[in-house]
Structure 1
Amino acid sequence: MSPSNRGKGPVVSIRGRLLAFALVLAVPAAAWAQGAQIAFGSLDHDASLPVEVTAESLSVDQGDGTAVFSGDVVVGQGTLRLSAARVLVVYGSGGAGSGKISRLEASGSVVLVLGEDAAQAQEAVYSIDTATIVMTGNVLLTQGDNAVEGQRLTVDLNRGTGAMEGRVRTVLTPASDKP
């Protein structure tokens, strides 16, 4: 190829081919980065177990069927632990007197621990009937040495799965065969 034709015409350089190959590989990675399915917790969680809540203070509103726990709130149900600065408890039909919780809305430094998995976020909503937890706002999920970040984590406690959305970023630790 003559110096005047360098970089012109149908001739594709090795650098160009590598760039094209990298772009082909990046398309699936970019799509994956928008949402990721992950295992979370274990299949042995029982959402019908009693929910225990401890906090610094409690206020109950019989009118709208809610209760607000605030100050170092810790919620426990079986092996599930959820902590936050504030937790709003929304009761089902019959209000607070029924004792039937519909959902928990946690806010302020929310941490969810189930088995060896842990996630933290700004807010979380635990829908008791569907056994789902939706965590939002700078979500960080850690599983052993691995971590996944995103803006929304939806956990299905019945299936032991989660889905991370919103510009997902992950750090994975490869297995090592070294002694």
Structure 2
Amino acid sequence: MAFALGLGLALTMHALPAAAQGMGLSFAGLQNVRGLPVEIKADNLQVNNQTGETVFTGDAVLGQGDMRLAAPQIRIIYAAAGDGSIERLEASGGVTLVTADEAAEAQSAVYEVAAGTVRMTGSVLLTQGRNVLSGDSLFVDLRTEQGRMEGQVRTLIQTAP
């Protein structure tokens, strides 16, 4: 299962103070895991060859390099072409995504591989170092490195002493 979650997460926030735009929220650590082997651990695995879905449930953890994606359920939907490529990855039930320097939490996350987009929804919390950004949903276009946080957006920027 060649899953490369290359999230180049550089956010452009229009509703935040000017200082927030310089936060540098990039999830750059995810770029470093591309091409590395993927390991998935879970309590259960269900494969449906007719629909092209693989579902990992029960403390599912997907690891690639120093990136970890954990959720009660991780669903992998393969492309109809039958070449083994992944069309979409869905994590639900409370999602945690961690790299060496950053972390994100949400109720669910969807990575559309072909479109190069990631959407996290439900009480999204994004941290980088001491800075924190939260909202109802986060959408990121990996190709353009543009994103938006929507719904009850709050940010905490730690300034140097």
Output the TM-score relative to the length of structure 2.
0.75
In structure 2, the residue matched to 1:72 is: 59
Q: 2:33–2:67: 8 Å Cα contact kept in structure 1?
A: no
Equivalence map 1:11-26=2 (5 Å) = none
Segment of structure 1 superposing worse, 67-76 or 42-51: 42-51
Deviation at 1:102, TM superposition (A): 1.4
In structure 2, the residue matched to 1:40 is: 26
SS where residue 28 of structure 2 aligns? coil
Distance in structure 1 (CA, Å) of the matches to 2:103 and 2:34: 18
CA shift digits 1:41-62 (9 cap, x unpaired): 1173455554332111000111
Letter in 1 for 2:125: L
Equivalence map 1:17-166=2 (5 Å) = 32-33=15-16, 39-42=25-28, 44-45=31-32, 47=34, 49-95=36-82, 98-157=83-142, 162-166=147-151
Letter in 1 for 2:85: K
Deviation at 1:171, TM superposition (A): 1.3
SS where residue 139 of structure 2 aligns? strand
Deviation at 1:132, TM superposition (A): 3.1
Distance 1:52-1:94 versus aligned 2 partners, 3 A rule: farther
Aligned residues: 142
Determine what percentage of the aligned residue pairs are the same residue: 46
Distance in structure 2 (CA, Å) of the matches to 1:144 and 1:133: 21
Structure with bigger gyration radius: 1
Which stretches in structure 1 are left out of the alignment for 5+ residues? 1-30
Distance in structure 2 (CA, Å) of the matches to 1:133 and 1:110: 13
Q: What is the RMSD of the two structures over their aligned residues, measured on CA atoms? A: 2.5
Which stretches in structure 2 are left out of the alignment for 5+ residues? 1-13
Distance in structure 1 (CA, Å) of the matches to 2:38 and 2:147: 21
Distance in structure 2 (CA, Å) of the matches to 1:170 and 1:110: 20
